[in-house]
Chain A
Amino acid sequence: MSGDQKNGIGREKVVEIVASVIERVRSSEELSRENLYRELKALHDLIEETRQDIGRTNFTEISGKHIPSATDELDAVVAATEVATSTIMDSCDAIQAESEKMDPHHKEFLMAEVTKILEACSFQDITGQRITKVVKSLKVIEGKVSDLMGILEDKIPGLPMGQDEDRRQGDARLMNGPQLPDKSVSQEDIDKLLADLF
C-alpha cells in the first residue's frame, strides 16, 4: 500500500489540480481571479472530502473497542475450553479408578477408550496456542491503527471522529452472543429479576 493510499488522500489528484493552477498562473493567458478561485475551491473541496472520508473510517473504534473486544472474547474461549477439558479429564480419572475393580476384559476396554479421550483433549492445547497467535496479531494491528490515528490527528487538525452506530433493527439489537464472565449476569440474578418483574 502506498503512503497516499494509507492516508486516504488522492495525492495524484491534488498534484494535478495544483499543477493546473501553476500552469495557468505561468501562462497568465487564462489567469483571472475567477479561474484561480475555481481551481482553489476544487482543491479545498477535495481536501475536505478526504478529511470526511478519514473521519468516517472510525479508527478510534477499531483500536479502542473492536480489537480489545475481540481479544477478550478469544481469551474467554481459551479459559472456557480449559475448564471443560479439565472436567473431562477428571471424569477420565474417575473412570480409570473405577475400572481397577473390573475384570481384565472390561478394564482393558475402558482404558483404551479413556486413552482416546485423553488424546482428543490435547485439542485444548493446540487451539489455545492458535488463539494466542491470533490475539498477538490483533494486538499488533491495534498498535498500528493507534499509530496511524496519532499521525492523522497531528496532520489533520479538527479531524471528525465518528462513532459506530448500531444499525440493527428490532430484536436483532438484542443479539450480542455470550457475555464475557466479568460482564455476564448469573442465573441467580436472572431468577431474582424475573421474580421481581412478575
Chain B
Amino acid sequence: MTAHLTCENLCLSYGKTPVLTDVNLDLVPGQITAIVGPNGCGKSSLLRCLSRVQSPTKGQVLLDGEPIHKQNTKQVARKIAFMPQSATAPTGMRIMDLVLRGRTPHQSPLQQWTSEDQRIVERALDQVGLTHRAHELLEDLSGGQLQRAWIAMVLAQDTEILLLDEPTTFLDLAHQQDILKLVRELQADRGLTVAMVLHDINLASRFTDNIIALRDQNVLCSGVPQDVITEPNIQDIYGLACSVIADPHHGLPHIILK
C-alpha cells in the first residue's frame, strides 16, 4: 500500500506576489513524476508545499486524503521525504553523520538510536554505493557523490514518497544520468512514489513515468511523456519552437530545438 499525495486548489503567494494559483494534482502512487516548467513558474514552491516545508496560502495538500499541514510533523516526515535544491551541510560533517540525520523523524528524545536505525542507514548507504566511504567528509566529495549522500539521507527517512528538488543541478551529463538511473532503481526496488523537479525535458522523458508541466503559477498539462512532450506544448511551456522525434534507443519523445 503506497501513500497517495494530492493537492486541491493549492494557492501560494509571497506577500502580494502569487506563486501558485489553484493547483490541483495527483502524484501517481508507485511511479516517478517529473515537474517541469520555466524558471520562476513555481516548481520548487509546489514541491515545498507538497513536502510540508512551506504552508500554502489557501488550499490543501492531502496525504491519503488527510491534510498534511494539520498533521503531526513527525508523522508526515515518516511518509514524505524531501531533498531541497542545493541543500547545504556544514563542513566537518561525514557522510554517515548526514545519513543518520534522516532517522530524525523516527527518533524521540528518549530513544535516539536503535539497531533498526543502523540497519536502515546501512541499506541506504549500500543502495547509493557509499558504504565504503561512509566516514569521509562531505566537503571531500565530488558533486555526484555529494548528491548520492543526500539521497541516502532521504532514503534513511524510510518514507513511501520521495520529493527531490532539482537532484541533477550542477552535475555533468554523465552524473545527471547516473543520479536519475539511481532514482529509477530505488523507486523500483522500494516501490516509492517519486516527484522531482527537472530542467532537462529529454532526461524527464527518459527516466520518468509522468510529467507535470507548470506555466504561470498553474499546471499547464500533465500525463505520460508522450502526451506532454509535444511541439505545441513545448511552445506553450517555454515559448520555444522545436521538433519532437522518437529517440532511436527507446522510442520516447525527444525534443530538438529549432
| A and B associate in one complex | no
